[in-house]
Every structure is written in C-alpha cells, then in structure tokens.
C-alpha cells in the first residue's frame, strides 16, 4: 500500500509517534512518504529525553522512507533544506495525495 503522511506539528510526543508509525509501516512493506508542513519542518534534530523525534526520522529515512519539507514553511523560519528534508512545494504535497492509497494527517 502507498501511504502518505502529512505532519503539521513538532510537538515531541505526537511527532515521535508519527515517525514511529511511518517506520512500522515501512517495515510492514508499505511505500511511505511524509510531507512536513508548518512547524513540522523543524522535526529534524528535534530531541527530548523521552521522545527522540530525530532518531525516529532517521530510522524512517534509513528504512527507505521519503520526506518532503514545505519550502515556504522552511523559508519563513529561515531554515534550509537538508538531505533528509528536501525543499518541496504545494505541488509536491498534492502529488503525494494523488499518489497515495491512503493519506493521514497529524
């Protein structure tokens, strides 16, 4: 199954659980893409003593998952794209929705 995940939060526990779900989905053989929007573009590098979002994000990428990061949201925070979170557009977000069999948002 092709699963699209749109994340709009950097809340530690919620973002951590989203990436745990994405990692598990990949391990189950699904094709998974994540689109980071709004404050979620700050998830890379996000750590907490209980909820290490960055660790789960990296596990997702290592499992073959793909992450897209809203370019407008990155720019508004004066952030740059990274290898794990490349600059993307709303067209990319729409294409993710079209591509996916199922889309979930958090």
Distance of CA 12 to the CA centre of its chain: 13
Predicted local distance difference test score (pLDDT) of residue 102: 98
Predicted TM-score (pTM) of the model is 0.95
Domain boundaries, the chain: 2-105
CATH number of 2-105: 3.40.1260.10
pLDDT digit string, tens, across residues 45-101: 999 999 999 999 999 999 999 999 999 999 999 999 999 989 999 999 999 999 999
Predicted local distance difference test score (pLDDT) of residue 101: 98
Predicted local distance difference test score (pLDDT) of residue 25: 98
Q: Spell out a b/e string for 62-94, using b for 16 or more CB atoms within 10 Å of the CB, else e.
A: eeebebbbbbebbeeeebeeeebbebbeeebbe
């Amino acid at each position: 199954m092709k699963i699209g995940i749109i994340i709009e939060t950097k809340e530690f526990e919620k973002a951590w659980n989203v990436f745990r779900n994405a990692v598990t989905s990949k391990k189950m053989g699904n094709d998974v893409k994540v689109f980071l929007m709004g404050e979620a573009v700050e998830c890379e590098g996000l750590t907490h003593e209980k909820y290490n979002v960055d660790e789960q994000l990296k596990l997702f990428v290592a499992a073959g998952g793909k992450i897209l990061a809203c370019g407008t949201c990155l720019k508004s925070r004066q952030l740059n794209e990274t290898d794990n979170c490349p600059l993307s557009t709303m067209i990319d977000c729409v294409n993710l929705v079209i591509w996916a069999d199922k889309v979930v948002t958090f």
